[in-house]
Structure 1
């Protein structure tokens, strides 16, 4: 199983913008068939070094993760939106 974690720092981290980002990420549920688990969390501490939103996903294989990256809903609806509202994005992928 492959875990894919992404941390997003928004350009403007208002409560409304954070909620919109969270909703957009959660909208992949049921639309991106290779997702085995999807969690989205909002930072509680809000320190200078904190990310605003965290995405935690699981996939059956590396091939499924790669298919997810180019899946039309993920690429066009979610990733494109997140790129437009984020000042930085970091990711980690690992096998469990």
Structure 2
């Protein structure tokens, strides 16, 4: 998926513009960056191999779902995943 984004950022002289923090995820889509961002957001560890598999387009399977959220309802996740058009592994 591709999207166009317009941004206007104003900062005072001598202040950091915050671009590294604000746009880091957009400019570095590596598994390490995505995992780190998710860990900061959710305040818990995130399985980097599972993130890397999703970023590589691997079909979603039970192991990946469990690695990312052990409490997730796999069938509900699979239904939503199919609706979004993402590939599911045979389960």
**Bucket of the pairwise TM-score, normalised by the shorter protein:** under 0.3
Q: What TM-score does the superposition give when structure 2 sets the normalisation length?
A: 0.26
**Which structure carries more strand by proportion?**
1
Q: What TM-score does the superposition give when structure 1 sets the normalisation length?
A: 0.25
- Higher-Rg structure is 2
**Which structure carries more helix by proportion?**
2
